[in-house]
Amino acid sequence: MNKKILVTGSNGQLGSELKALSSNYKDYDFTFVDRTALDLSNLCKMEDFFDTKTFDVIINCAAYTAVDKAENDTESANTVNNKGVNLLSKIAKNKGISLIHISTDYVFDGKNFSPYLETDKINPQSVYGKTKSDGEEAILKVGAKNTIIIRTSWVYSSFGNNFVKTMLRLGKEKDELGVIFDQIGTPTYARDLAKSILDIIANLHNEAPEIYHYSNEGVCSWYDFAKTIFELSHIQCKVNPIETSQYPTPAQRPYYSLLNKSKIKKHFKLEIPYWKKSLSDCITKIISYEC
């Protein structure tokens, strides 16, 4: 009998990539829901949704991700990223459903000098990061088996709005751009993460919730990222390195958010692509959509 997989946040970058890959996984029956069908900010209706439906696995891609807006919209961000996640985790435990929850590098303060391990202390510096870390804590407290949290960083895709698409647009409109060079991390192609999640499902056998880190391989700054986007897309736009202080935002970003991926690679036997290779694949896809 096929496993029944529920994907929340189905119109986001990761949800869209899971949808695009789903036809390759014949042993799974997928249900994709967006906020209109399952709203993590509406706790009453969440329980109603599961009263008449059964699933084997939930992949929770739903989140409040407007990082800067969250600074003045704390209640909404907390309801989705913490309270909604808490309830979803309890529902999964009560019904014996496996849960894969997506979290973020923003749970860290960015002051490390080596890639963050799953066991490193969290210290979020923004409302978004705090609500996501509270959601993680809620899942750990519920303590359901076959539950994992995957922290990721700098997500982009051929779907939705993201840094890659913004640079492709601005690169054609402007002769030069200033891009931050003093924030270091690794881009994550949502398609690579989606494929890894779908490969992980069959190997979820943990008695208590586990945290894993996932991004593409390698390291860069946002400046390096932008330069590579233009090089791969043959856009002639000069990129000038600027400091974070020259581009102030309401929410503080981690200066350093490299994630150590040894645990997820070893446990699930994953091979993770290098970020430039994945970026090239994504840009090819975006350009093909435009043609």
Residue 92 pLDDT class (50, 70, 90 cuts): very high
Phi, psi of 137 (to 5 degrees): -60, -40
User: Which tokens belong to 84?
Assistant: 């909604």
Per DSSP, the chain holds a count of helices (H) and strands (E) of 10, 12
Q: Two tokens at 276? A: 């430039």
Q: What distance, in Å, lies between the first and last C-alpha atoms of the chain? A: 41
Prediction pTM value: 0.97
Average pLDDT for residues 69-87, to the nearest whole number? 97
Query: Would you say residue 288 has pLDDT above 70?
Result: yes
- Are 156 and 189 contacting, i.e. CB atoms less than 8 angstroms apart? yes
- List 25, 106, 116, 128, catalytic entry: 128
Angle between the N-to-C axes of helices 190-200 and 275-290, in degrees from 0 to 180, rounded to the nearest 10: 110
**259-269 tens-digit pLDDT:** 999 999 999 99
Phi, psi of 130 (to 5 degrees): -65, -45
Give 170: exposed, middle or buried? Use CB within 10 Å, 0-12, 13-18, 19+. middle
Flag whether pLDDT at 84 surpasses 80: yes
Averaged over 40-53, what is the pLDDT? 92
**Residues above pLDDT 90, as percent of the chain:** 96
* CA 132 to each of CA 83, 200, 246, 257: distance values in angstroms, whole numbers, following the listed order: 10, 22, 27, 15
The domains of the chain are located at: 3-162+186-218+257-274
* Active site (annotated) includes residue 128: yes
Q: Which residue has the tokens 């150590």?
A: 260
Q: What is the mean pLDDT of the chain?
A: 96
Both tokens of residue 24?
């390759």
Tokens of 236: 């002639």
Q: What pLDDT score was predicted for residue 291?
A: 58
Q: What is the DSSP letter of 84?
A: I
User: In the CATH hierarchy, which top-level class contains the domain 3-162+186-218+257-274?
Assistant: alpha beta
- Whether 108 contacts 152, CB under 8 Å: no
In which band, very low, low, confident or very high, does the pLDDT at 272 lie, cut at 50, 70 and 90? very high
CA–CA distance, 227 with 187 (Å, rounded to integer): 13
183 pLDDT more than 90: yes
Which tens digits make up the pLDDT trace of 101-139?
999 999 999 999 999 999 999 999 999 999 999 999 999
